Amino acid sequence: MLQDKSGVLLVNIGTPEAPTKTAIKKYLKQFLSDQRIIDIPRWLWLPLLHLIILPTRSRRLVQLYTSIWMNQGSPLIVYSQRQCYELSKKLDIPVALGMSYGNPSLKSALDILVRQKKVKRLIILPLFPQFSCATAGAVWDGVHKVFSGYRSIPSVYFIRDYAQNPTYIAALKASVIYSFQRYGTPDLLIVSFHGIPKRFVHEGDDYPERCYATFKLLINALGMNLNTAMLTFQSRFGYESWLAPYTQNTLKILPDKGIKNVHVISPGFSADCLETLEEINIQNRKIFLHAGGTHFEYIQALNVNEAHIKMMKELVTPFF
């Protein structure tokens, strides 16, 4: 009996197609309309979104995206496409890239794998190391929505997260050691994860546990402790209470405590993007130095690091 053909779907969050108000507004509309992201009642949220948030936020983000844009496009899509290409070279099965929001869409990626390549065993790898309902949960919803229009669907193997994967931790460790060797050992290593509303946690999202699991394994692997490494949360949106301590607020007060040399890593991002290249490496760098810090070093995401691609291969291989 012939074995069913396998294929891999890589998924990341998505990005505007250009650093323009029109493209950013289009992306934000899709992103902020998802109830996994903003679960305020639609009758209240949608008018606010369309009348206030989209016009103002899209205009403000033009400059921010422009500051990090690469010749080939948005860093997130550039690195994600390279990840897809490098993983496909290591596997003898089809690999496609889809984004939860924007392009390439989940539908376009699934059409390639299921309809064109005739995949019957689908391995889905959301590139979010720590599970959250707002990221991996949204991927699950998006795939289900696409499949609702298919007459035939494949067997599905969904990789929930890889927060404690040994190869992932080893790759992070190597990145930190490289930074320390090149720029000197800092007073403090800040391990910054994307935040979520605390309310999500009270409703059952185990995201903070997954972040702490990664943090603990990483600092143990580095031989560090809570005196030399600190976990924080970034990218707060809106006015409700989010996971704390906030990265930005932490960086403001560290110099007054005598901590003037920091390195920052954001392990929750599999590819560099606006939240790392602009928020961390530009905005937060300025905040720290303005507060009296003397040295700030951002440790880049794993991107197309060879160990990162090796980890992806290790994660998907058992399912085909």
3, 67, 110, 287, 314 from 64: Cα distances, Å: 48, 5, 31, 16, 35
For the stretch 221-242, what's the b/e string if a residue is b when 16 or more beta carbons lie within 10 angstroms of its beta carbon? Answer: bbeeeeeebbbbbbbbeeeeeb
Residue 194 assigned to a binding site: yes
CA dist 12 and 7 (Å) reads 17
Distance separating alpha carbons of residues 179 and 299, to the nearest angstrom? 7
Nearest to 7 by CA among 149, 143, 151: 143
* Residue 275 assigned to a binding site: yes
The helix, strand and coil proportions of the chain, stated in percent and rounded to the nearest 5, come to 50, 15, 35
In a 13 Å sphere around the CA of 319, the CA atoms on its Cβ side amount to: 21
Buried b (16+ CB within 10 A) or exposed e, 135-169: bbbbbbbbbeebbeeeeeebeebebebbbebebbb
In whole angstroms, what is the distance from residue 153 CA to residue 99 CA?
Answer: 19
Q: Which residue is associated with the tokens 């376009």?
A: 108
Annotated binding-site ranges:
194, 275
Annotated binding-site ranges for Fe(2+):
194, 275
